[in-house]
Amino acid sequence: MALLNIVKMGDNTLRKICRPVGSGKLTERTLRLLDDMRETLIDADGCGLAAPQVGVLRRIVLVLNEKEEILELIDPVIVDSEGEQEEIEGCLSVPGKWAYTRRPMKVTVEATNRNGERFTVTGEGLTARAFCHEIDHLDGKLFIDEAVHILTDEEVKKYIG
């Protein structure tokens, strides 16, 4: 496994739409990417990581859930959502920026796992927000694009520390 470079805002990769991985047996390259993304996410102490954030235009995301488990989601699709939450959000690709975003409180995602099997997973609160945030990355969207309010430097010091 290897630590990958996290692409920062301004890099065109973050604004591109990712290609599906596709069904069937996953390649060694895809499995290695999943492992490397896991190591990178842990090292960066983030809540999620999408493949375009490491320069790969494939529909792959990792999300840390409420149980501190890293979920690997290949070709994820949000199939249901409910409720609403407005919370502070940040991004490993947009260091130093924080914003209030409006996201669903509960989100259900259908995806493929590393064994090529489709599954469904539901997350609430922070996990639901992370699902939405990371899947947005796959469509070239950043959390600041539709933020309710981008925090000023003074607000960051007050709320984030």
Secondary structure element (H or E) that encloses residue 153, with its range: helix 153-159
| Alpha carbons 137 and 51: distance in angstroms, whole number | 8
Identity of residue 60: I
User: Catalytic one among 28, 134, 154, 155?
Assistant: 134
Structural contact between residues 67 and 22, judged by C-beta atoms closer than 8 angstroms: no
Residue 134 is among the residues annotated as catalytic for this protein: yes
Which among 27, 43, 41 has a CA at the least distance from the CA of 72? 41
Q: Is 48 exposed, middle or buried (0-12, 13-18, 19+ CB in 10 A)?
A: buried
Structural contact between residues 77 and 113, judged by C-beta atoms closer than 8 angstroms: no
Residues assigned a catalytic role: 134
